[in-house]
Structure 1
Amino acid sequence: MSVSMTQTMVDPTNAVNKRTVQSAVVEGRTLELRVGDIDGVQYAWTRLVDSQNGDIIWINQTTDGGNTWNSFGKRTIQAGGRNYTDALRTNSSNKVKMQAWTQLTSGNKYNTAAW
């Protein structure tokens, strides 16, 4: 049984209490799963520190404890542009988990541990 979730994404630029909950160093870049509060509600998003032009980032979410995963917010990073995705609302259920993902210009894909 999965948890019903609203999949509307929002810009996390003005989130407060921002912090990194999972990270992985990949080919000289740092892939992060970040969380923060927007209007009193917790959201999560992917950020790629030291990203390069053409790197792709997105956030994956499961609502059934990891049996199935869905991708959200995929974006290709442009030089000097935004290095993070829009944010998805989190949920305290142990069936809801998120991961940060990237496909680097090398073609290799990486992800953080689930949170």
Structure 2
Amino acid sequence: MFLFPEHQERYEQFIRRDGTHTKDRERQALLYVFAGYEALGNRIDHFYDFEGRMIRPEGFEEVDLTSGSKALVKLAFNLYNNYPCGTVVDLFANLDERNRQLAVEAIKIRFGM
């Protein structure tokens, strides 16, 4: 499930920091994506408010993102609360192989697969 050891460590750190319930697959999927991409994980506070426990779409205006990292954030937001993210083709077209795997695993988490 995790792509590398630091991915799991960062994910568990985010889960603890947020206080995510074990049945909250929406937040688990969101945090899984951020934990799996270092540049996003380092900037998670721009995109997720741990105190208010909600996404921050204004983060798109605060941080310069590559097309791939922007696609991952949109996917994470969509898995969390159906945030508009375009089509699956649009999202996956901007991802390399590793990030496609990250996206697929996040989808599996969200839908309990």
TM-score class, shorter-chain normalisation, is under 0.3
TM-score (norm: length of structure 1): 0.22
Who wins on radius of gyration, i.e. which is larger? 1
Instruction: State the TM-score, normalizing by the size of structure 2.
Output: 0.22
- Larger relative helix fraction: 2
Larger strand fraction of residues: 1
